[in-house]
Amino acid sequence: MDYNQLLDRAFAELPTLSQESVDFKIPEVDSLIQGGKTVVRNISQIADKARRSSEDIAKYLTKELGTPMSINNNMLEISAKISQSSLNEKIRRFFEVYVICKECHKPDTHVENRDRGYIVIACEACGARYTVKNYQ
């Protein structure tokens, strides 16, 4: 066999990218409106999926929604009535900007550094590093 035949055989055995399945799914918010407050009951599960702290997600939501929040008994208490669809949109945006890698589109990232208004995100899957504006 010559080189071109070996190369053709190797390419024929490679899997195609379209057959890959992505099992990562952004979690849905489980919220409940109680009087003038909104309670997110699954903030710890969302934080675990994002591999970030509940406090980081609360800080992001505080800035995005412009209302104070607190974490009590693994639940996020928002001092305003916020619809579940609006919360899902904000959480989806958090994952897009601060969790999912911009290069390989995998959620295997961590915060490497917080400095002067920016966060350095590092991807464990592909090794990419990039900065995003800090949400604090």
pLDDT at 34 (0 to 100): 93
pLDDT band for position 21 (cuts 50, 70, 90) = very low
Q: Report the candidate in 90, 95, 99 with the shortest Cα–Cα distance to residue 61.
A: 90
Q: Report the candidate in 103, 65, 96, 57 with the shortest Cα–Cα distance to residue 83.
A: 65
Asked if residue 100 lies in contact with residue 66, where contact means CB atoms within 8 angstroms, the answer is no
When the candidates are 3.30.70.240, 1.10.357.10, 3.30.30.170, 3.40.50.300, the CATH number that belongs to 23-99 is 3.30.30.170
Domain coordinates in residue numbering, the chain: 23-99, 102-136
> For the chain, what is the mean pLDDT?
89
**pTM of the entire structure?**
0.79
- φ/ψ of residue 21, rounded to 5: -115, 140
Q: Is the pLDDT of residue 115 over 90?
A: no
Q: Is 91 exposed, middle or buried (0-12, 13-18, 19+ CB in 10 A)?
A: buried
Question: How large is the average pLDDT for residues 82-108?
Answer: 93
